[in-house]
Amino acid sequence: MELLQYTLDNLGLLGTRTLEHISLVGVAVGIATLTGVPIGIAITQNERVAKAVLYIASIIVTIPSVALFGVMIPILSLIGQGIGYLPAVIAVLLYSQLPIIRNTYTAIHNVDPALREAARGVGMSHRQRLRMVEIPLAVPVIMAGVRTAVVLNIGVMAIAAYIGAGGLGTFISRGISQSDPRQLIVGAVAVSLLAIIADYALLALQKHLTPKGMSVSTAAA
Amino acid sequence: MIRLDNLTKVFDTPDGAVIAADHISMEVPQGEICVLLGPSGCGKTTTLKMINRIVRATSGKVFLDGEDTSGLNTEDLRRNIGYVIQQIGLFPNMTIEENITVVPKLLGWDKNRYKVRARELMDMIAMDAEAFLKRYPSELSGGQQQRIGVARALAADPPVMLMDEPFGAIDPINRAVIQDEFLKMQAALKKTIMFVSHDIDEAIKMGDRIAIFREGKLVQYSEPDELLSAPKNAFVESFLGEDRALKRLNLVRVRDVVSDDIGTVDVTDTLATARERIDSHGYRDAILMVDDRRRPIGVISRDTTASQQGYCRDHTRGLPAVVHLDDDLRKVASLMFAHDTTWLPCVDDHGRLCGQITQRDMTHHLGSRYRSRRPARPVVDGDRPAGS
């Protein structure tokens, strides 16, 4: 009851923090998609490069977020951005690379060789093959990578409140420092709900972007 | 016309160089289907794919209509060659219409022109344009998909087509139907076609010429009848099979063998007349009865004429079977075996009698080819035509 009262009293703040959170994750994953998809496509050309890139991206994900923020503070302080928005976005950007690059690489790599041969056979250039056949076919898997990145990083971004990036994490960090379970719970529940809603929303987007011919599965007689 | 000049492919593998195609030189005349045939790994597919550079030749040249293709840009070359593969390879993200107009689009045709072309193509492959153009490949059956695959290859009306086991993944019944449809289209379109197959029966059916490959080498390149009657060596003989003389039955039509010398009786003739005619023609068992429009309707047996009296119409036995002038001898032989008979009446398009075909005529026709060669070749068992 007390919790509900607190939520209602702070509805405006909750809304602002949620928008902050969404914009942080959105900007970071958006940029990550713009970098990760081309990288994923590019590395299909060379297996050794692909292995190296995926290895580095996997290592980045293993770095605890608190440590990553810590490392960035002195570096970004050089341009006066040691804490706040920029390091938070950079961290999420880095964490997002693995699911996006890996899914893009796998999807393009796994395009049916027969389709690739047919595309060459009709006289498509390399770029035309990518644009007309390989990328459209890879879209569902690439989108699944973006979803993973978003859900993963909604959690990571909650920690970014400690470096002053804002977002729903502020409820959690204040709840802890002020020993206020109401703030703590509201923040935690809000982060979880946001992750679930984002997942469903992106799933809908994924279905929308999937080429129609691939979702029609029933074969005629 | 397709001409290959010393086309060679060497693959570098960890175990050393493998020669997949070894100085292949051959020519497919304008408007003909050449089937490349051989066991797997014999180099037939590699040879085919070097023509449109899916596999890059190590050395040698490809000429299309007399022009050396080595000067052409790869994309341009491929857009002017129809290509059909066994896995069909329709793009699942595109509608049927987008699939079959992909080459015209790449060639920069304007939209109206390729839309019209899509409908023409659907007519050509006997599929309903309205029902299918807006659908996706996954909604079609395998046979329908391969028809679309053929239509896509024909879209820009290329003079040359390459087909890599195009009907290999289709069930036997549909395969025969699609093969027939394709041959009918080819009779009108007169494309120059290279066609890879591992199925000797398909090769005989589809090929104007057959090229037998083994271990990267072209072993024999002949017309089907020549190939079956005069295999060049033991490998070709064994590849064609012990029953290769039987396979020649597929190549001969009834009209090539039919004899118009056939005695008949009418429904109004008496059995005595029938008896006379059976004797005068020297028939052993029976004589054919025809109606007033000379359509065969039954047979009168010798025994009946000996033991009974009256008119033929009252004593007829059913007709075992009739064959059409355009049937092949394989069907004839099959009907003869099924009905335990040594002759069958032949009819034209209107069902009118135009002669008969006998087992002796068939044997004789097929055997003439062997007899003319016999002095040049030692005779072994397998050389004799079946049924002699």
Q: Cα separation of B141 and B132, whole Å?
A: 12
Q: Hey, is B269 helix, strand or coil? A: coil
Please spell the DSSP secondary structure of B148-207, one letter per residue.
HHHHHHHTT--SEEEEESTTTTS-HHHHHHHHHHHHHHHHHH--EEEEEES-HHHHHHH-
Reported pTM: 0.81
Q: What is the chain B residue with the closest CA to A218? A: B139
Please spell the DSSP secondary structure of B44-91, one letter per residue.
HHHHHHHHTTSS--SEEEEEETTEEGGGS-HHHHHHTEEEEETT----
CB contact under 8 A, B106 and A128: yes
Contact residues for B129 (Cβ-Cβ < 8 A; gap 6+): B118, B119, B122, B123
Would you say residue A220 has pLDDT above 50?
A: no
Q: What is the mean pLDDT of residues B101-130?
A: 94
Q: What percent of chain A has pLDDT over 70?
A: 97
Cβ of A11 under 8 Å from any chain B Cβ? Answer: no
Q: Would you place residue B31 in the very low, low, confident or very high pLDDT band (cuts 50, 70, 90)?
A: very high
Tell me the pLDDT tens digit for each residue of B332-377: 999 999 998 889 999 999 999 989 999 988 888 888 777 665 444 4
CB contact under 8 A, B139 and A120: no
Q: Would you place residue A82 in the very low, low, confident or very high pLDDT band (cuts 50, 70, 90)?
A: confident
State the smallest CA–CA distance between residue B370 and chain A in angstroms. 43
Cβ of B10 under 8 Å from any chain A Cβ? Answer: no
Return the pLDDT at B315: 85
Q: What is the mean pLDDT of residues A132-157?
A: 94
State the smallest CA–CA distance between residue B329 and chain A in angstroms. 34
Q: Cα separation of B56 and B141, whole Å?
A: 33
Cβ of B93 under 8 Å from any chain A Cβ? Answer: yes
CB contact under 8 A, A219 and B95: no
Would you say residue B381 has pLDDT above 70?
A: no
**Amino acid code (one letter) for B387:** G
Where does chain B have alpha helices with state H? 44-51, 74-79, 96-100, 102-106, 111-124, 129-132, 142-154, 172-189, 200-206, 224-229, 234-240, 244-247, 254-257, 271-281, 302-307, 329-339, 359-373
- Average pLDDT of the residues of chain B: 90
Q: Would you place residue B110 in the very low, low, confident or very high pLDDT band (cuts 50, 70, 90)?
A: very high
Residues, chain B, total? 388
Closest CA to A201 of A147, A157, A136: A147
Contact by Cβ (8 Å): B97, B133: yes
Q: Cα separation of B352 and B105, whole Å?
A: 52
Across the interface, of A122, A136, A218, the residue whose CB is closest to B106 is A122
Residue of B76, B138, B161, B174 to mutate, testing the A interface (most A Cβ within 10 Å of its Cβ): B138
Residues, chain A, total? 221
Q: What is the mean pLDDT of residues A181-187?
A: 91
Q: How far is CA B18 from CA B24, B38, B41, in A?
A: 15, 18, 11
Would you say residue A112 has pLDDT above 90?
A: yes
Contact by Cβ (8 Å): B205, B46: no
Across the interface, of B77, B80, B92, the residue whose CB is closest to A214 is B92
> What structural domains does chain B harbor?
2-250 (3.40.50.300), 254-366 (3.10.580.10)
Would you say residue B25 has pLDDT above 50?
A: yes
Strand partners, A115: none
Q: What percent of chain B has pLDDT over 90?
A: 63
Closest CA to B316 of B334, B300, B296: B300
Q: What is the chain A residue with the closest CA to B89? A: A115
Q: What is the mean pLDDT of residues B232-251?
A: 88
Cβ of A127 under 8 Å from any chain B Cβ? Answer: no
A167: region left, alpha or beta (phi > 0 left; psi from -120 to 50 alpha): left
Please spell the DSSP secondary structure of A190-220, one letter per residue.
HHHHHHHHHHHHHHHHHHHHS-HHHH--PPP
Return the pLDDT at A3: 85
Tell me the pLDDT tens digit for each residue of B263-294: 898 888 888 888 889 988 888 888 999 988 89
Q: Would you place residue A107 in the very low, low, confident or very high pLDDT band (cuts 50, 70, 90)?
A: very high
Q: What is the chain A residue with the closest CA to B101? A: A122
Tell me the pLDDT tens digit for each residue of B50-108: 999 999 999 999 999 999 999 999 999 999 999 999 999 999 999 999 999 999 999 99
Residue B321, burial from CB neighbour count under 10 angstroms (0-12, 13-18, 19+): middle
Return the pLDDT at B371: 64
Residue B288, H or E segment: strand B286-290
Query: End-to-end alpha-carbon separation of chain B, Å?
Result: 40
Any idea what DSSP says for residue A134?
I
CB contact under 8 A, B54 and A117: yes
Would you say residue A4 has pLDDT above 80?
A: yes
Contact by Cβ (8 Å): A210, B136: no
Please work out, in degrees rounded to the nearest 5, the angle formed at the alpha carbon of residue B97 by the alpha carbons of B96 and B100.
Answer: 85
Contact residues for A164 (Cβ-Cβ < 8 A; gap 6+): A83, A84
CB contact under 8 A, A220 and B79: no
Please work out, in degrees rounded to the nearest 5, the angle formed at the alpha carbon of residue B246 by the alpha carbons of B244 and B252.
Answer: 110
CB contact under 8 A, A213 and B141: no
**Chain B positions in Cβ-Cβ contact with residue A112 (cut-off 8 Å):** 87, 89
Return the pLDDT at B147: 94
Tokens coding B224 = 């089907």
Closest CA to B203 of B229, B184, B224: B224
